[in-house]
Chain A
Amino acid sequence: MTTPAGSQAPHAPRSHAALADYVERLGDSIARRAMAIMYANPFWDDRFGARGRRFAEEDGRHHVAYLCEALRQGSAGSLERYALWLQSVLTTRGMCSAHLDENLERIGGIILSEELPDAHVAVDFLDRARRALCYDGGAARELQDASDAIGVAVRRILESETPSWRDEWGRDSATRLTANVEWLVSYLADAMHLQRDDQLAGYLAWLADFAARRDVPAKAVTSLLDALGSALDRLSPAAMSLAADTLSRGRALAATIQSPAAR
């Protein structure tokens, strides 16, 4: 059993109890507002629906509760531990790490907008939790780290090999492409980490269905995935091989999925 270090503890963390109390009082509002911002993008409603939003708001309240407890402890450790645990729960249930990362980022932005005293401490804790979502080495981590570079490469490849891509993706094509690649890379990295092709396949099947319902031609999704496959050459040979194999298996599996709904 561990006993208290006592008042002589050399590096006793500084509690931010007052900030925690502020944030806690705003907890429900913060969770709802973060979801409102995210659900302004039709992606969220289509992929997860009203039920998903209800659960996500509930999760948002948990995020805030864990943040407040970490603030009271004066240490982000328990929030990081929570983020890591939640990542494993959500990435096996149709979400990707980037979704959780975005939720934590939105919560931080809302706390900042409240202009609470020492709000930067809460944001710093949330940032640490976001960093905890980066896998601890390996090919999946390498892919996470290369996400932005791969996004740039995918766009270049599409510009070069599929000049019609802007027309195919329609309004806000560049913005949609950026988000799609970020999420694709995140789903791919999660699938590699979890060794769960089915998680990537579920997303790819939904993406094809979503695109079709928005009059984006099937060949546009195919071109996007082909470009992603080519852009994986930014990775080391070992990571590229693993990522390309996982993507390939995910695409094959996605083609067999009849009902892509993630709800």
Chain B
Amino acid sequence: MAVLYPRPHEFTRMTEQTAPAAEGGRAPAADQVVTLRERYVAAQLAGDRQEALRLIREEGLERGLDAPRIALEVIMPAQAEIGRLWQENRIGVAEEHLATAISQLVVSTLYAHFPRAASNGKRVIVACVEGEQHEIGARLAADFLEMAGFVVHFLGANVPTDSLVAMVRSELPHLVVLSSATTLHLAAMRSAISRIRLVGGTALPIAVGGGVCGWVPDLADIPGVSCTGTDVHDLVETARRLTGVA
């Protein structure tokens, strides 16, 4: 049977933290978030982009649910649900791609609503390694780093190692974040890490994230890897530490 690979849940974790209260009102309750997520998944499965966008705008943002929380508590769990439905053969590849394309559109619209700290001047390159097509998690990692003040170059899915290394050489980033969903592209990951080390030196930190972290618990022991993880908040804190941001 054909094998496709599950959507990564890169850099995400269902958080229990309380969202900041909306202006002049209370923070949306957890059950409201759950309801929004369920309705959003239904819109994805119906292939209804307009409804998905309306839900996020009217039932999310306009009801005080902030954009970062929507990204982590609605979009990524919805993607996990879509991945589960594909895995269990409840939906086909086309439906899964349709649903994911909707989330990519929604995440694009959320970008304008993300709060941003003042720039800290530290440059970060975020990329999915060569062959890796799952990019939403890496994209949100890039967005969260940018919100925290980092200057981020997000290169997206399936970045050829040659091009990635060339960009590291030209941009001289303070941190490189590499993403992969499973171990299938770990060979490309190893190659990228060793070649980035050659041009960036041992002082350049390299973080690894994505679903692969759940498949390989001792991923951090791969030579050249500075840290691994799947939580965006942890990533931001670690990025601050590794790049010397106060």
Contact = CB atoms under 8 A, between A and B. Distances in A.
A29 interface: no
Interface stretch (A1-9, A111-119, A182-190, A251-259): A1-9
Most buried by B among A3, A86, A93: A3
A62 B184 contact: yes
A34 to B, nearest CB: 15
A59 B2 CA distance: 7
A94 B234 contact: no
Contacts of B88: 88, 92, 194
B226 A5 contact: no
B156 to A, nearest CB: 22
Interface stretch (A38-46, A77-85, A231-239, A241-249): A77-85
A59 B1 contact: yes
Given A1-B235, A2-B229, A3-B227, A78 B215 contact: yes
A1 B221 contact: no
Contact of B1 (A52, A75, A194): A52
Contacts of B237: 1
Interface string A67-81: 001100101011001
B207 A1 contact: yes
Given A59-B3, A94-B1, A1 B229 contact: yes
Contacts of A77: 215-217
Contacts of B219: 2
B3 A4 contact: no
Contacts of B231: 1
B17 interface: no
Contacts of A86: 3
Interface residues of B, number: 32
B218 A69 contact: no
Contact of A4 (B6, B215, B225): B225
Interface in A82-121: 82, 85-86, 88-90, 92-95
A11 to B, nearest CB: 10
Given A2-B229, A59-B3, A69-B187, A89 B87 contact: yes
A65 B3 contact: no
B14 to A, nearest CB: 18
A251 B157 CA distance: 46
Chain A, interface size category, equals: 35 or more
Contact of A12 (B214, B221, B226): B221
Contacts of B228: 1-2
Given A12-B221, A66-B183, A69-B183, A78 B1 contact: no
A62 B182 CA distance: 12
A93 B1 contact: yes
Nearest to B238: A1
A4 B2 contact: no
A224 to B, nearest CB: 26
A5 B220 contact: yes
A27 to B, nearest CB: 12
B1 A55 contact: yes
A88 B88 CA distance: 7
Contacts of A82: 182-183, 215
B18 interface: no
A163 interface: no
Interface of A: 1-5, 9, 12-13, 48, 52, 55-56, 58-59, 62, 65-66, 69-70, 73, 75, 77-78, 81-82, 85-86, 88-90, 92-95, 194
9 contacts: A1-B237, A2-B229, A5-B218, A59-B1, A69-B187, A81-B214, A81-B215, A82-B182, A85-B6
